[in-house]
Chains A and B, each alone.
Chain A
């Protein structure tokens, strides 16, 4: 008996293991800093938690996941550079997309041309996945969210007159406002005022003053949290006391930090509530808090977490990380169980899932009700 064959075998095994341990690169671009920084930063935390858990269980296809992230600084145009770098220099096999639709829309054509599957996180504008067959999203879309908000305003808040405030340079805000305008009117309500602003502005007193004499029952702001918080503050200063409602663009700790008392009693729709009693949500919240300094996960963190697991499941099913089979596997996702509910990717590469309405009460966001349009 000689030692040669086992030694050779073990050498071959080592070589195989070394090859097998090559990490699978997963890219992520998003606004980690800047005006919408809270979204990207929260998504990043959810993504890291998921990757950590998957790697702890031996990775995907026997290989660990490697996380590569690029910050778009909430600036227009940065997403293009970020995603080009991820694809051509870092050679990622899949990309986790941004939160704002505008950012995802910038990067999507590049992913599509490179045939790298992209999973947008909370980009709800329908146009995002229309870019091509490699572009997916893990969230619901604006027509759904707009219908939810219209129904909520009409039935839960019993509103007849709604004033609409739109960020004109945001495809998300424009899309959501368009749906609300149609749906709320279809429910017999009236849009009594429409005002516009540009993201990054800080003075909204003029628009609010123009709305005030029209006496709406509810004011809907379809933009993002920084402007929403400033708007609520200025509205309360002007003596406007009606409730404000909005979409998932509101959800960030800064809404309450900046808005303070002014955002009390406002409502917004989102994908996920950390107060949900379902066991998988409970356990996700516990693990997230343990990893991230006791922070409570927001919807965008939960979506990031689900996105990683969904892509990992597709890789396992495809048995490879090659782009075409991976794309097909993601597209075939059905009833994928995640913390934001069951996800089915439809023929337009959107995710169908339910929405929850949260309300700000005593300085924190609380579950109000689940709404299906």
Chain B
């Protein structure tokens, strides 16, 4: 922290500041983008397997941070093991919630028109948001400091341990997800169901288990996103999932919906763009730009950056 004042001693030279400001904004953007990426993965996985957007996903993200809020009161503050424990509890809790939602709401509708499932998803989303207001109250809560936090200064570039934590945890989870999908039996089954559900069933894949697992995995990632978000922005409320959820959805479409590395790329890209816009004079247009990107992608590259264009079979 001492280096802060030293580096600011020099006159504001035009060369020095834009670079350090650029790096700082890049870092801010990446840590925001990592959270978007985690949420986007859940959208993309469910879409990959079931071909529908699970709009309730952003509210599972909210429930994740509330589980973290209550669990965080039972562990000592500012310890790594306590923080990780809270993270695991929230991920398990949300995995269960995700599987429950799938079992109760979406499974009965499997095979019916996509629109029915989509509307059900919006219904589940509203149910979670407003039950959240009943159970947790509409007043924002202060999320406890579950992880120890310090700041590291490199010249005028300041990195907080929470930002590093977000990037590290998000990267680890994404690598783990990639390993699960490409290196395990259940991952192979997931890809098989995604490719052709009927054929997968013919060769002995239990679709119910695979889909349930997909929802569990996606929801666990949303919970991790919720905890990481709450650590960085420690004011949580039942409607907190709405905006990050929409942004993550944009990120998933940006990267190519159904494509896992695409969701990660989309999240990081969107977080970075948003941060740079926010730091400029056009900060008011931040959200407008995010959604303009969505429209642009849909117009010029409907399959997304990493998505493959496929003809919808009728």
Contact = CB atoms under 8 A, between A and B. Distances in A.
Interface in B257-286: 274-280, 283-284, 286
Residue from A37, A196, A233, A239 having most chain B Cβ neighbours under 10 A: A239
Residue from B12, B28, B275 having most chain A Cβ neighbours under 10 A: B28
Nearest to A209: B24
B17 A210 contact: no
Contacts of A209: 21, 24-25, 28, 279
A239 B12 contact: no
B158 interface: yes
A203 B163 CA distance: 12
B142 A210 contact: no
A241 to B, nearest CB: 8
A229 B142 CA distance: 11
B129 interface: no
Residue from A202, A214, A258 having most chain B Cβ neighbours under 10 A: A202
B21 A239 contact: no
A37 B140 CA distance: 9
A35 interface: yes
B156 interface: yes
Contacts of A214: 12
B254 to A, nearest CB: 19
Interface in B29-82: 29, 32
B284 A196 contact: yes
A34 interface: yes
A54 interface: no
B160 A237 contact: yes
Nearest to A169: B284
A316 interface: no
Contacts of B24: 205, 209, 212, 238
A249 to B, nearest CB: 15
A210 B160 contact: no
B309 interface: no
Contact of A33 (B138, B229, B280): B138
B279 A230 contact: no
A239 B276 contact: no
Task: Label chain B's interface by main secondary structure.
Answer: helix
Interface stretch (B104-112, B183-191, B200-208, B233-241): B233-241
Contact of A239 (B151, B229, B237): B151
A237 B151 contact: yes
A205 B275 contact: yes
Given A212-B156, A226-B235, A239 B4 contact: yes
A195 interface: yes
A35 B156 contact: no
Contacts of A35: 140, 237
Contacts of B160: 237
Interface residues of B, number: 41
B62 to A, nearest CB: 13
B292 interface: no
A33 B229 CA distance: 22
Contact of A210 (B21, B32, B287): B21
Contacts of B1: 239
A148 B229 CA distance: 37
Contact of B17 (A206, A213, A229, A238): A213
Contacts of A322: none
Interface string B139-173: 11010000000010100101010100000000000
A219 to B, nearest CB: 15
B235 A258 contact: yes
B296 interface: no
A207 interface: yes
Interface in A190-208: 195-198, 200, 202-203, 205-207
Nearest to B278: A206
B279 A213 contact: no
A154 to B, nearest CB: 22
Nearest to B162: A237
B275 A206 contact: yes
Interface string B278-309: 11100110110000000000000000000000
B120 interface: no
30 contacts: A34-B140, A35-B140, A37-B139, A37-B140, A38-B139, A168-B284, A195-B283, A196-B283, A197-B278, A198-B287, A200-B243, A202-B232, A202-B235, A203-B28, A205-B28, A206-B25, A206-B28, A206-B275, A206-B276, A207-B278, A210-B25, A212-B24, A213-B8, A213-B12, A213-B17, A229-B235, A239-B1, A258-B142, A258-B234, A258-B235
Given A38-B139, A73-B138, A198-B286, 19 more contacts: A37-B139, A168-B284, A196-B283, A197-B283, A200-B243, A202-B229, A202-B232, A202-B233, A205-B24, A207-B279, A209-B279, A210-B279, A210-B280, A212-B24, A214-B12, A239-B1, A239-B151, A254-B142, A257-B142
Closest 7 CB pairs of A and B: A206-B278, A202-B233, A206-B279, A205-B28, A33-B138, A210-B279, A213-B17
